[in-house]
Structure 1
Amino acid sequence: MEQIMNYIKPELLILAPVLYLLGAGLKKAQAFADKYIPLALGAAGVLLAVVWVLATTDMTGYKDALQAVFVALTQGILAAGCSVYANQLVKQSGKDE
């Protein structure tokens, strides 16, 4: 987990707990089948990362735009992955084996 955290920008680390709470809310509300919650969290993570990238980046050309797309996609997916991983840690720690 620590290795993955090294790849997420410090400003976007807040996305992991936000997405974790969003996933818990989706599960409790039964808005999605459980198997689709990670996909919804990935989409939400990318969307929130896009908002952050657009708000903090001055784009002067197509290379900057492509870099912004790459950063938003990778950061959003990594943050969603961390939230799903954290959820699994909580679930697995409660099991008796």
Structure 2
Amino acid sequence: MDLLSYLNQNYLMLVPALWVLGFALKQTPAIPNWMIIWVILLVSILIGSFAFGFSFIGLINGIIAAGVAVLGHQMLKQTFFDKNGKKKE
């Protein structure tokens, strides 16, 4: 089962944009780390709904796009970096 097969192709462009947003939020001291995923989810739903229409499918695709962005980031981070953020050897 491929998660990306459930995601509308129009929403694929959101995933890298959400990665950039997450990186920017991580660099912002006023935003706590626990809040980053919620901001990404909200932004994904809002941008997806405005760009592709307000519907239940649009809502679900926004949630999936946020999930793919967060999951992809965590997979890369946990595969290539240790707990201190240093590159694994």
User: Taking structure 1 as the reference length, what is the TM-score of the superposition?
Assistant: 0.77
Q: Deviations over 1:70-89 (max 9, x none)?
A: 02210111000011011101
Aligned to 1:16: 15
State yes or no: 1:92 paired with 2:48.
no
Show structure 2 runs of 5+ residues with no match: 83-87
Distance in 1 (alpha carbons) for counterparts of 2:25 and 2:66: 14
Structure 1 gap ranges (5+): 55-67
**Is the 1:17–1:83 Cα contact (8 Å) retained in structure 2?**
yes
Amino acid across the alignment from 1:52: A
Q: Which aligned segments of 4 or more residues in structure 1 are displaced greater than 3 angstroms?
A: none
CA contact (8 A) 1:53 1:71 kept: no
Q: 1:46-78: CA deviations, max 9, x gaps? A: 001111123xxxxxxxxxxxxx42022101110
What is the CA distance between 1:30 and its match in structure 2?
2.6
Higher normalized contact order (CA 8 Å, seq sep 6+, divided by chain length): 1
The question of whether the paired residues in 2 share the 8 Å contact of 1:16 and 1:82 is answered with: yes
1:6-85 alignment to 2 at 5 Å?
Answer: 6-54=5-53, 68-85=54-71
How large is the RMSD of aligned CA atoms in angstroms? 1.5
Query: How many aligned positions are there?
Result: 82
What amino acid is aligned across from residue 74 of structure 2 in structure 1?
A: Q
Cα deviation code 1:19-48 (max 9, x no counterpart):
011001100123421111111100000001
After TM superposition, the score normalised by the length of structure 2 is 0.83
Q: Of the two, which has the highest radius of gyration?
A: 1
